A = this chain, B = another copy of it.
Amino acid sequence: MESVVDHLAFERNKAQFDVNDMKIVWAGSRQEFELSDRISRLVASDPVFQKDNRTALDRKELFKNTLRKAAHAWKRIIELRLNEQEASKLRSFVDQPAFTELHWGMFVPAIKGQGTDEQQAKWLPLANNMQIIGCYAQTELGHGSNVQGLETTATFDPKTDEFVIHSPTLTSSKWWTGGLGKISTHAIVYARLITDGQDRGVHGFIVQIRSLDDHLPIPGITVGDIGMKFGNAAYNSMDNGLISFDHVRIPRNQMLMRVSQVTREGKFVHSGVPRQLIYGTMVYVRQATVADASTALSRAVCIATRYSAVRRQFGSQKGGPETQVIDYKTQQARLFPLLASAYAFRFVSEWLKWLYTDVSQKLQANDFSTLPEAHACIAGLKSLTTSATASGIEECRKLCGGHGYLCSSGLPELFAVYVPSCTYEGDNTVLLLQVARYLIKTISQLCSGNKPVGTTAYLARVEQLMQYQSDVKRAEDWLKPNVVIEAFEARAARMFVAVAQNLSKFTNPEEGFQEFSVDLVEAAAAHCQLIVVSKFIEKLQQDIPGNGVKHQLEVLCSVYALFLLHNHLGDFLSTGCITQKQGSLANEQLRSLYSQVRPNAIALVDAFNYTDHLLGSVLGRYDGNVYPKLYEEAWKDPLNDSVVPDGFKEHVQPILRQQLHNARL
């Protein structure tokens, strides 16, 4: 790829499958592969998009650099006449969070999803041409998870036919809004609608926040950046902002009125459009977070796997080279489950895309029957995949030893930029409680003949699952898909039944929910793991072309499932789904699977087809030429600009010369 000598060629030659075919499987289709391949190379070869040394920039320099890249991206999108999908790929390969993410990812979809036809006709052309730049202001200083607790008000004034947007308290300041701090001209602001003195709940409003002439805030608005966030560069390239409103007036037609409307007279009415329709946007955004999880985790795994093959430590025989760290079982047992997880999350996100399409079509046909199940499923998978990815990236960093702590490894920034996913778009614990609530309800309705659907269908067999006993006798039995699925189904079902029994003792169900919320969260996690394992197995039931490709995926699928089983052995044993002996056989099988992954590891991460530009990691270089490049990178640090550093003469030399008492410090 980028270099003449391939230091990892000997590893690539070990692969027992066709890596080019695996690239297609990973991408989803040949067309998807070609699109990503083309756009990622386009970005990687453009000097404006280089990522050199951005972690050493101060906040202002970084922000200016980001504006430059965002503008250049827009220029290239226009020049090359890229379509929506291509443009979105290009922005994501630039790999530096910018205000444009919120404009395209939240502002435009909100208008599409919640605006009336007239509102869409007015605002979408402006937004699509970027004649206005928008953001999405929901979270407040004092309110994140609890959207119904938002304090900002939008009071209708029938005299002027306007809404008055107001921040009644300090904690009602909007907070965290990406793109708001310095750049956006408009915002979708969520506020409690007040008409006739009555609180009508939270609705969205299009509010202009800065003048299109001089970019100064509109009178009555206080707006700024909320300050530095976790990590080097990372999200500090984004102007997450705060805003407060002092009786700011907007025309009545700037409330997003697709579902609910306020008439000229100030009457609050519902349109014929069902409220559920607007859930479509949220479902879309959350399913995208699952795809993002597989991307982020696979980047980290790619870096750690390549460097584990380059790095040698201990075990030198008679002065020969030391052992590659990837050959150590302890390294394999930490790294390969993450490799398997990256593939597992990829396939479950592919399935979620299908689910989203399916739900959308049903919504259009006024069929809301599968919405609650889809909602619970997506919430759970968002929680599972983002939590596992955040801790997985940090594990990959540790697997690189000391050098993983250098910014030039790419891993610190990847971690810092990724972790907020565990909190935004629904806190992961809150989401698991929602999943649990849905499953408890599903179970409680079984008696009344309500048939569970989709990912909860297995609960229809709950009585059978309560009787289940795994029939594993040899380690290889754990390779059978049905054996694995049934064990995971029985475990999840029994955990829910156990907690449901505890809940039934409470006269006040909410009290029971509070008391047993930890058990509920654990049961929900078990259910979500079952989904990921099932979807991986379903994927393998499809025809997958390519020499050796399907077998590799079968191995990874077993690694993923048995790793989960090992990590949650307590669940499987305490619910009596498997015996101690069967647990130990699963572990034995896992050990043998790691040996099967080993020769294919490098090719399995090559299949992600990431450019060195995207990885931004000296340790993860395609050519494995790590040490000379680490050495080169070091000298680029600003501290190396001068031999004697700033401050030395002033602060250190007086100490060395024992002039401390005379020196001005």
Contact = CB atoms under 8 A, between A and B. Distances in A.
B646 A63 contact: yes
A550 to B, nearest CB: 27
Nearest to A408: B227
Nearest to A129: B658
Interface stretch (A142-150, A258-266, A286-294, A351-359): A142-150
Contacts of A481: none
Contacts of A402: 139, 144, 176, 420, 423-424
A231 B232 contact: yes
Interface residues of A, number: 138
Contacts of A274: none
B627 A170 contact: yes
A402 B420 CA distance: 7
Contacts of A182: 639, 644-645, 648
Given A570-B568, A573-B573, A638 B58 contact: yes
A637 B517 CA distance: 39
Interface stretch (A25-33, A72-80, A116-124): A72-80
Copies in the complex: 2
Contacts of A170: 627-628, 631
A580 B398 CA distance: 35
Contacts of A406: 226-230
A329 B215 contact: no
A547 B221 CA distance: 53
A246 interface: no
A576 B579 CA distance: 11
Nearest to A628: B170
A174 B648 CA distance: 23
A476 B65 CA distance: 61
B313 A145 contact: yes
A59 B313 contact: no
A660 B72 CA distance: 10
A248 interface: no
B330 A521 contact: yes
A447 interface: no
A639 B391 CA distance: 31
Interface in A251-282: none
Interface in A154-185: 170-171, 173, 176, 181-183, 185
Contacts of A420: 402, 405
A328 interface: yes
A574 interface: yes
A124 to B, nearest CB: 16
A314 interface: yes
Interface string A42-72: 0000000000000111111101110110111
A653 to B, nearest CB: 7
A212 B235 CA distance: 43
A67 B652 contact: yes
A545 interface: no
A10 interface: no
Given A63-B647, A574-B580, A665-B68, A631 B242 contact: yes
Nearest to A169: B627
A535 to B, nearest CB: 25
A228 B515 contact: no
A5 interface: no
A402 B177 CA distance: 12
A515 B333 CA distance: 11
Contacts of A571: 569
A97 interface: no
**Residue of A231, A242, A654 with most partner-chain B CB within 10 A:** A231
Contacts of A591: 515, 518
Contacts of A391: 391
Interface stretch (A11-19, A86-94, A130-138, A377-385): A130-138
A216 interface: yes
A14 B521 CA distance: 29
Nearest to A633: B227
A634 B224 contact: yes
A441 interface: no
A472 B433 CA distance: 31
A78 B518 CA distance: 54
Q: Give the residue among A239, A401, A583, A587 with the most B Cβ atoms within 10 A.
A: A401
A407 interface: yes
A113 interface: no
A422 interface: yes
A193 to B, nearest CB: 17
A590 B638 CA distance: 52
A130 B656 contact: yes
B181 A639 contact: yes
Contacts of A580: 573-574, 576
Interface string A420-445: 10111001010001000000000000
Given A314-B149, A330-B521, A660 B78 contact: yes
6 contacts: A56-B58, A67-B647, A67-B650, A146-B322, A330-B429, A566-B570
4 tightest A-B CB contacts, nearest first: A569-B570, A64-B647, A230-B412, A58-B58
